[in-house]
Amino acid sequence: MTTTRTRLWTELDFEADGKQIGYLQMPYSVTRSAYGNISIPLVVIRNGEGPTVLLMSGNHGDEYEGQVTLCRLIRELRPEDISGRVIVMPAANFPAAMAGARVSPLDGGNLNRSFPGDPDGGPTLEIAHYIDTVLAPMCDGWVDLHSGGSSLDYVPMAMCYLTEDDDYNARARAALMAFGAPISVIWDYFDDKRLARSTAQAHDVIYIGTEAGGGGRVNPAGVQLTRNGAVRALDYFGVLTNRDRFPDVGPPEDIRLVEIATRDYFVYAPAAGLFEPFHALGAQVEAGAAAGCIHFVDDPGREPVTVNFKTGGVLICKRHFARVERGDCVGHLVTDIDGG
């Protein structure tokens, strides 16, 4: 029988003032450790009453820019800098983060396809359930720092996601503008209830995400974007009261507001082979233009297969790995929002 109570536990006190750096313990019994736990880093910084913001990275373990940023902020933030509470999970799917993989090596679980989770499921579902039932209900804001991981590369950007609630959408858009990414995306596609942002929306928590680079490396521009945005978000939500402690983080400058509106913004490989892209990240492309072609090195006399864009826009994301299988995403676009 499924229970509603999480088995994960922590010695951290969410109601205590001060900075606590510790672990969320997830019971995990294996041959080498019958009563063992997987220790997921968790930080609580609190100073009296006020809003609560969750800062999260490592939702996918091979997305590194946010992990670098949150490790830095954990060291920098002091209780006297805030009013309220900041909860930080720098490696949310910890087994995946330690493996440098998108999904957990323990159960193949993709945390961002596991919400609202299951307390009696595998490790990834258990983590999702804890976030959904314990952390999200405490929060006013949630900043989830992603990048393209190993397989994709992005022009660093931030995004909010539309719902059927106009009031929520207005608040999310305001938070996105305060985050201040030079490219800010209104995402009106990919309605999947298994996503972290769906859990946030279900709890009326304002959710901001990023795609801060990728390619299995740390993009310096992505680190700057996630750091600046996270500090501005804490300020916007009313948690950061000592803004002078971050003189390197200025106000947002010019923001290009763009959207992802339909499935047609995405381009997929129609065959397995070696993908040759024809455009650099950030390129403006026309509808019908060739995105690239797929070569067949096992059958070199075979003509390449051309992959075309269905719509025009800016190439915000492209595949990092050259080898593709049928169905792999090889890139996607954004388009400008008229009037911003």
Q: Are residues 95 and 127 in the same domain?
A: yes
116 cis-preceded (ω within 30 degrees of 0): yes
Percent of the chain's residues with pLDDT above 70: 98
Q: Are residues 137 and 63 in the same domain?
A: yes
Q: What local confidence, expressed as pLDDT, does residue 43 receive? A: 98
Q: How confident is the model at residue 281 (pLDDT cuts 50, 70, 90)?
A: very high
Q: Are residues 185 and 170 in the same domain?
A: yes
Domain, as residue range, for 313: 263-336
Phi-psi region of 288 (alpha: psi -120 to 50; beta: other; left: phi over 0): left
Judge whether residue 340 has pLDDT over 80: no
Average predicted confidence (pLDDT) for the chain = 94
Q: What whole-number distance in Å separates Cα of residue 174 and Cα of residue 177?
A: 5
Q: What local confidence, expressed as pLDDT, does residue 217 receive? A: 94
Give 139-185 pLDDT, tens digit per residue: 999 999 999 999 999 999 999 999 989 999 999 999 999 999 999 99
Which CB contacts under 8 angstroms, 24+ apart, belong to 112-118? 112/59, 112/60, 112/146, 112/194, 112/195, 112/196, 113/192, 113/194, 113/195, 114/194, 115/193, 115/194, 115/195, 115/196, 115/198, 115/199, 116/193, 116/199, 116/202, 118/2
Q: How confident is the model at residue 253 (pLDDT cuts 50, 70, 90)?
A: confident
Q: What local confidence, expressed as pLDDT, does residue 334 receive? A: 95
Q: What whole-number distance in Å separates Cα of residue 80 and Cα of residue 57?
A: 24
Q: How confident is the model at residue 31 (pLDDT cuts 50, 70, 90)?
A: confident
Q: What whole-number distance in Å separates Cα of residue 33 and Cα of residue 193?
A: 35
Q: Are residues 188 and 288 in the same domain?
A: no
Q: What whole-number distance in Å separates Cα of residue 204 and Cα of residue 202?
A: 6
Tell me, rounded to whole angstroms, the distance of Cα 289 from its chain centroid. Answer: 30
Q: Are residues 278 and 182 in the same domain?
A: no
Structural domain contains residue 3: no
Query: Among residues 239, 260, 281, which one ends one of the domains?
Result: 260
Percent of the chain's residues with pLDDT above 90: 90
Query: Would you state the structure tokens that stand for residue 214, as one six-digit string?
Result: 């990728």
Counting the structural domains of the chain, the total is 2
Q: Are residues 196 and 252 in the same domain?
A: yes
Judge whether residue 114 has pLDDT over 50: yes
Structural domain contains residue 1: no
Q: Are residues 92 and 67 in the same domain?
A: yes
Structural domain contains residue 152: yes
Q: Are residues 51 and 196 in the same domain?
A: yes
Query: Among residues 260, 279, 295, which one ends one of the domains?
Result: 260
Query: Among residues 260, 276, 291, which one ends one of the domains?
Result: 260
Structural domain contains residue 235: yes
Q: What local confidence, expressed as pLDDT, does residue 2 receive? A: 41
How many other C-beta atoms lie within 10 A of the C-beta of residue 105? 14
Q: Are residues 324 and 211 in the same domain?
A: no
Judge whether residue 260 has pLDDT over 50: yes
CATH of the domain at 289: 2.40.50.100
Q: Are residues 279 and 250 in the same domain?
A: no
Sign of CA dihedral 152, 178, 240, 138: negative
CB 253 within 8 A of CB 297: no
Q: Are residues 329 and 194 in the same domain?
A: no
Q: Are residues 57 and 162 in the same domain?
A: yes
First-last CA distance in the chain: 50
Give 290-334 pLDDT, tens digit per residue: 999 999 999 999 999 999 999 999 999 999 999 999 999 999 999
CB 278 within 8 A of CB 326: no
Structural domain contains residue 307: yes
Structural domain contains residue 4: no
Considering only CA atoms, which of 177, 185, 142, 143 is closest in space to residue 161?
185
Per DSSP, the three-state class of 231 is helix
Considering only CA atoms, which of 159, 215, 161, 148 is closest in space to residue 182?
159
CATH of the domain at 192: 3.40.630.10
Give 42-100 pLDDT, tens digit per residue: 999 999 999 999 999 999 999 999 999 999 999 999 999 999 999 999 999 999 999 99
Strand-pair category, 313-319 with 284-285: antiparallel
The pTM (predicted TM-score) of the whole model is 0.94
Structural domain contains residue 177: yes
